[in-house]
């Protein structure tokens, strides 16, 4: 079984140790270093799933597959955005991942893209550039799954009759047993336009309401703000 270790520091590496014959897969460009006993191949998987992942999450069409072919070997992986990582056990529990959260997994873990059904509110959110809240990935099967969030990460326990509301850009992953609902703001009244105005004036954006019993992995930094800043900085330098 592959051994995953997260190195210390604010912007860690994922250190993976593989025995001969073992393999993992990871997000494209995640590999930083590997020993020469390992082989690296790019695979698309199902075309439909690859296209949905690329469209929904802005991720590559391809995954990197790393296999210990000529003996035991180690590799270092790194997530796209700076921040912490968490190792989750998929088996009894399955998990849903927000866009860009996937780093790596054992081959016994299956990753499938999902899309929420759009409501009228959802359509308005898409117009305002918040369509990312409707797409996510679902991990099932058996094995270890590594996810990342920008900044620090924290695992929150959701209990029955104690719903939690989390800004969409701070959600990394959640237990699929949880019920989740996408909305424009925490406000429960005032109708759709009232919630829309409240969302704009409060700077709240899209939020996810979780109910039931399970865990949610959250991160301290808003990745959407960082990506917007990065794009504007790149455009300005051009």
Reported as a single tens digit per residue, the pLDDT across 169-181 is 899 999 999 999 8
- Cα–Cα distance for residue pair 203/201, rounded to 1 Å: 6
72-94: average pLDDT: 94
Nearest in space to 172 (alpha carbons), one of 116, 221, 211 = 221
88-111: average pLDDT: 93
More confident residue, 211 or 80: 211
pLDDT value of position 45: 53
Boundaries of every domain in the chain: 3-237
Q: What's the order of all strands across the beta sheet hosting 73-77?
A: 3-6, 14-18, 73-77, 31-34
Helix (H) or strand (E) holding 228: helix 223-237
Question: What class is the 3-237 domain?
Answer: alpha beta
Q: What angle do CA 215, 218, 222 make, to 5 degrees?
A: 160
Helix (H) or strand (E) holding 206: none
pLDDT band for position 48 (cuts 50, 70, 90): very low
pLDDT value of position 228: 65
DSSP 137-184: EEEEESEEEEEEEEB-EEEEEEBTTB-EEEEGGGEEEEETTSEEEEES
pLDDT value of position 155: 96
pLDDT band for position 91 (cuts 50, 70, 90): very high
**pLDDT (tens digit, 9 = 90+) per residue, 120-169?**
444 444 444 444 445 788 999 999 999 999 999 999 999 999 999 999 88
Q: Quick one: DSSP state of residue 109? A: E
**pLDDT (tens digit, 9 = 90+) per residue, 17-46?**
999 999 999 998 899 999 999 999 987 654
Percent with pLDDT over 70 in the chain: 69
Q: Quick one: DSSP state of residue 131? A: G
Strands 95-97 and 171-175: antiparallel
pLDDT exceeds 90 at position 197 = no
Say whether 108 sits in a helix, a strand or coil: coil
More confident residue, 114 or 55: 114
């Amino acid at each position: 079984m592959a051994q995953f270790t997260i190195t210390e520091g604010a912007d860690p590496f994922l250190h993976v140790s593989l025995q001969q014959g073992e393999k993992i897969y990871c997000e494209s460009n995640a590999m930083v270093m590997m020993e020469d006993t390992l082989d690296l191949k790019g695979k698309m998987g199902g075309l439909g799933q690859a296209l949905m992942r690329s469209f929904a999450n802005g991720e590559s069409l391809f995954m990197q597959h790393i296999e210990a072919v000529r003996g035991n070997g180690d590799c270092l992986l790194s997530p796209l955005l700076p921040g912490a990582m968490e190792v989750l056990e998929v088996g009894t529990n399955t998990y849903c991942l927000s866009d860009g959260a996937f780093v790596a997994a054992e081959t016994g873990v299956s990753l499938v893209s999902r899309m929420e059904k759009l409501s009228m509110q959802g359509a308005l959110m898409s117009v305002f550039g918040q369509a990312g809240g409707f797409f996510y990935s679902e991990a099932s099967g058996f094995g270890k799954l590594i996810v990342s969030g920008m900044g620090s990460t924290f695992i929150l326990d959701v209990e029955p009759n104690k719903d939690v509301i989390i800004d969409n850009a701070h959600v990394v992953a959640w237990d699929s047993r949880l019920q989740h609902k996408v909305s424009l703001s925490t406000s429960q009244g005032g109708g759709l336009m009232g919630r829309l105005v409240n969302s704009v004036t409060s700077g709240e954006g899209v939020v996810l309401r979780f109910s039931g019993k399970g865990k949610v992995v959250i991160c301290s930094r808003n990745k959407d703000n960082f990506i917007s800043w990065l794009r504007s900085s790149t455009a300005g330098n051009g």
